[in-house]
């Protein structure tokens, strides 16, 4: 069997957990035995962290696969996938490891299961170095559903750094095939809204300060729109531990969505948190693309699996996106091309990501 294993170098390009997520999901979907070496070689603590391991174990369990080298700190794994099955799948990072990253690895797989699935994901919902669950619900979900799929995301409890303790339940039905997407018309911004939150021991005043600092920052650049950022205190029974942060979403006339977000931490001024999120949003709006910088790489695996040509207009191509494209091409028959957009005024740094998808068919439907 080892002769047929696809060899993945986990230390190239982005050199982090994303290589593992993309390659194991595609291995599972395509029935390709895999060996990943030099896992997270580019990180200060190389090898598997708890969230990567729980993601791998969930993938193994949802396809009755075989995983070797699956322990914390391991820098090499081999994975032999079986048949993808629906039903309830549980993953618990037991830390503040991101539930959103767990969702990223499992979701493409269960779309091609034989029956509906329920993913019970435990860990951090609003954690550093990962999308916040609010981003997943407000931006990722409506855009990803354009591939002709639907899912439901129920936030049972929010969890923050360092303990985690959050829980999200994702329910989805399988599809026969994914449709390609066309996200190339930016449109004009029609609405900006968001939420600034505190949980646990923190006073609501922090949320109000984050919200008003963010609004002031956005107003300097966008004067003619009402910016509605709600300060909220998470109910104690719906949040574990103490945390704070903000997410702001802009919607456009063509249905594009862009976001900016930031998390509070000890010693960080709440105005700073609000301004960071606002500046991130404004940066995402300036480049003229139709997706924000964080959605870019999350679309790649779906584009590779879809049946037909997908086109996405984006800002500068992130290293995460380049990495996702590299491994999607290595593992599937999909072909990507990235071209700089010429039609704009030359001040804009925009690109077209085009993909001829492989048209994966769910053989169990």
320 catalytic residue (yes or no): yes
Q: Is 18 annotated as a binding residue?
A: no
Rounded CA gap, 51 and 36, in Å?
17
Q: Is 101 annotated as a binding residue?
A: no
Rounded CA gap, 42 and 140, in Å?
27
The DSSP line for 1-61 is -GGGPEEEETTSTT-SHHHHHHHHHHHHHHT--EEEESTTTTSSS-S--HHHHHHHHHHHH
List C-alpha distances in Å: 52 to 105, 186, 222. 10, 34, 40
Catalytic residue among 89, 287, 320, 326: 320
Q: Is 298 annotated as a binding residue?
A: yes
Q: What are phi and psi of 64, to 5 degrees?
A: 50, 45
Structure tokens at 347: 């001040």
Residues 6+ apart with CB under 8 A from 285: 189, 250, 258
List C-alpha distances in Å: 207 to 164, 246, 263, 274, 344. 20, 8, 11, 9, 38
Q: Is 356 annotated as a binding residue?
A: no
Rounded CA gap, 288 and 53, in Å?
37
Residues 6+ apart with CB under 8 A from 183: 143, 146, 256, 290, 291, 311, 312, 313
Selection from 297, 256, 262 nearest residue 104 by Cα: 297
Where in 200-332 does DSSP place strands (E)?
A: 227-233, 239-240, 243-252, 257-263, 309-314
Residue numbers in the known binding site are 104, 294-298
Residue numbers in the known binding site for ATP are 104, 294-298
| Residues forming the active site | 320
């Amino acid at each position: 069997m080892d002769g047929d294993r696809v060899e993945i170098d986990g230390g190239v390009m982005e050199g982090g957990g994303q290589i593992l997520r993309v390659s194991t999901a595609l291995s599972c979907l395509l029935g390709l035995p895999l060996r990943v070496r030099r896992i997270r070689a580019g990180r200060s603590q190389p090898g598997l962290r708890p969230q990567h391991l729980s993601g791998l174990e969930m993938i193994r369990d949802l396809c009755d696969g075989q995983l070797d080298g699956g322990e914390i700190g391991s820098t090499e794994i081999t994975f032999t996938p079986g048949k993808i099955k629906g039903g309830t799948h549980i993953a618990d990072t037991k830390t503040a490891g991101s539930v959103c990253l767990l969702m990223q690895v499992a979701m493409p797989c269960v779309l091609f299961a034989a029956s509906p699935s329920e993913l019970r994901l435990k860990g951090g919902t609003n954690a550093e170095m990962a999308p916040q669950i609010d981003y997943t619900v407000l931006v990722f979900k409506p855009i990803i559903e354009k591939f002709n799929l639907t899912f439901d995301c129920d936030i049972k409890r929010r969890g923050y750094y360092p303990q985690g303790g959050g829980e999200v339940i994702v329910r989805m039905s399988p599809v026969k095939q994914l449709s390609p997407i066309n996200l190339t018309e930016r449109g004009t911004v029609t609405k900006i809204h968001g939420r600034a939150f505190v949980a646990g021991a923190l006073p609501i005043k922090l949320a109000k300060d984050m919200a008003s600092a963010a609004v002031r920052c956005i107003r300097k650049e966008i004067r003619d729109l009402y910016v509605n950022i709600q300060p909220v205190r998470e109910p104690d029974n719906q949040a574990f531990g103490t945390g704070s942060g903000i997410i702001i979403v802009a919607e456009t006339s063509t249905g594009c969505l862009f976001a900016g977000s930031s998390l509070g931490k000890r010693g960080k001024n709440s105005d700073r948190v609000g301004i960071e999120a606002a500046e991130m949003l404004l940066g995402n709006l300036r480049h003229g693309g139709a997706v924000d910088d964080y959605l870019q790489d999350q679309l790649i695996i779906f584009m590779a699996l879809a049946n037909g040509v997908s086109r996405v207009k984006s800002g500068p191509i992130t290293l995460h996106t380049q990495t996702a494209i590299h491994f999607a091409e290595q593992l599937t028959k999909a072909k990507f091309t990235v071209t700089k957009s010429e039609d704009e005024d030359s001040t804009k740094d925009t690109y077209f990501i085009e993909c001829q998808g492989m048209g994966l068919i769910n053989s169990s439907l």
